[in-house]
Amino acid sequence: MNIIWTGQARHTYDSTIAYLLEEWTVKAAQNFIDSVDEMEEQLKDFPNSFPISDKKQYLRKAVLGKHNSLVYQIDGDDIVFVTFIGNKQDHEY
């Protein structure tokens, strides 16, 4: 399985890191980066391991930790990272 990042995923990933560096700590930012890296590896082996979105049936949501989740979809042999969201946000996923 290949991992593909959308522009939105890259933007929300970078924004989350910037926020963590500004409002939290370097360690918090590094933990987020590490959790995304680990998620990439897990999804390559087990792409269906996270639940389908209640709102959009073609998407899945993987919880990265207490504060953040990854929204992704499976497209053939590709796993497409759609966006990163805050778990307390009101979102369309």
Give the total number of structural domains in the chain. 1
Is residue 92 included in any domain, yes or no?
A: no
Q: What is the pTM of this model?
A: 0.93
Q: Which residue has the tokens 């919880």?
A: 63
Is residue 91 included in any domain, yes or no?
A: no
Is residue 64 included in any domain, yes or no?
A: yes
pLDDT tens sequence across 19-30: 999 999 999 999
pLDDT tens sequence across 53-85: 988 999 999 999 999 999 999 999 999 999 999
> 81 to each of 26, 57, 58, 61, 72, how far by Cα in Å?
24, 15, 12, 10, 4
Is residue 48 included in any domain, yes or no?
A: yes
Q: Which residue has the tokens 């497209």?
A: 75
Q: Which domain holds residue 31?
A: 2-86
* Domain of residue 82, CATH code: 3.30.2310.20
Is residue 18 included in any domain, yes or no?
A: yes
